[in-house]
Copies of this chain bind each other. A is one copy, B any other.
Amino acid sequence: MVTLAEVAQHAGVSASTVSYVLSGKRSISANTRQRVERSIRELGYHPNAGARALASSKSNIIALMVPLRTDMYVPVMMEIAIAVATSARAHGYDVLLLTGEEGPDAVRRVAGSGLADGMILMDVELDDERLPLLRETDQPSVLIGLPADTTGLTCVDLDFRATGALCVEHLAKQGHQDIAVIGEAPAVYERHTGFAERTLEGLRSRSRELGVRLLHRPCEGGYDAMAVTLARILDERPGTSGIIVQNESAVEPLLALLRQQGRAVPEDVSVVAICPDQVATQASVRLTSVAIPAQEMGRHAVDHLVAKLDGRGSDEVVLIAPELTVRGSTGPAPSRP
């Protein structure tokens, strides 16, 4: 293993000079710089991460806490995680992967040990138990998702309230009067996940304003659960002509069931999905949808965290404006008999 001292000796300078060449924190003559850089290359030198962290109290690592549950919106999680890792590298940071398993203790461990300089939390619940710790250790952090109380926190999220409103609006504008919402699994609502509840608020308030009827039903993913849910909806509201889905694993089953029942999309029923673009375009019907901008969220989170670590940047809540893309699954409401 090559050390700074060896590079220094090889280049005929002192260790501190090599350090300054590396960090650029003091001016170095062009001549010396080149000699040092050459030695670094020739010896294949890589600074030791531990020593660096110890001396500078900076690890150049960002911790990313992903939910342990693999049952929910997995591709989105993955996409965010990869976006985070990629953007972090672009800023010179590596990413430490923490699962939700450890719970709040992970926050304590990371903050206490100086393992990471800051952390990004995904899947934040409205009343998340990690937040008190985050505030008290004042660990630099960014949340992906929006808790109930955001004082002193930096959050990045899609504006799910506006997303809900946007979906209702789109359908209402086309004349749909009876709209059904197929939501995430009941467990998601029970644990008060922010995005699910806020979507619902948006859906409800906008439909109230626009005078359309709204029926919300949580739904486990999969074909069987979807069959039951759809039957219940059509039973309660036979006139339903617009459906909003916020559950990736319910999308394809829903479309299959509608087809099977002879309900044409979009002639008989219009469908709007809240899902990543990939899902919307790869479904059996090209879906009108509001995209979940996973990449953008990951990138934003990293940018904000890095800004904080650099002493720039402040606490703030960034809500990304939703965008509805019209594809082939929505159209005018059928005229009622």
Contacts and interface: CB of A to CB of B under 8 A. Distances in A.
Nearest to A249: B282
Interface string A249-290: 100110110011000000000000000000001111000000
Contacts of A85: 97-99
Interface string A40-69: 000011111111111001010100101010
A283 to B, nearest CB: 7
A46 B108 contact: yes
B96 A284 contact: no
Contacts of A144: none
Interface residues of A, number: 58
Nearest to A56: B50
Contacts of A52: 50
Contact of A260 (B51, B54, B57, B259): B259
A48 B113 contact: yes
Contact of A70 (B2, B79, B94): B79
Is the contact region of chain A dominated by helix, strand, or loop, or is it mixed?
A: helix
Contact of A47 (B44, B113, B221, B284): B113
Given A46-B108, A74-B74, A96-B97, 20 more contacts: A1-B114, A49-B115, A50-B50, A50-B51, A50-B114, A51-B54, A54-B54, A66-B82, A68-B82, A70-B75, A70-B78, A86-B99, A89-B102, A94-B96, A94-B115, A221-B282, A222-B281, A223-B284, A256-B256, A259-B259
Interface of A: 1-2, 44-54, 57, 59, 61, 64, 66, 68, 70, 74-75, 77-79, 81-82, 85-86, 89, 94-99, 101-102, 108-109, 112-115, 221-223, 249, 252-253, 255-256, 259-260, 281-284
25 contacts: A45-B112, A46-B113, A48-B114, A49-B114, A49-B115, A70-B79, A70-B82, A74-B74, A75-B78, A77-B78, A81-B81, A85-B97, A85-B99, A86-B99, A86-B101, A94-B96, A94-B97, A95-B97, A96-B97, A97-B97, A221-B282, A222-B281, A222-B282, A256-B256, A259-B259
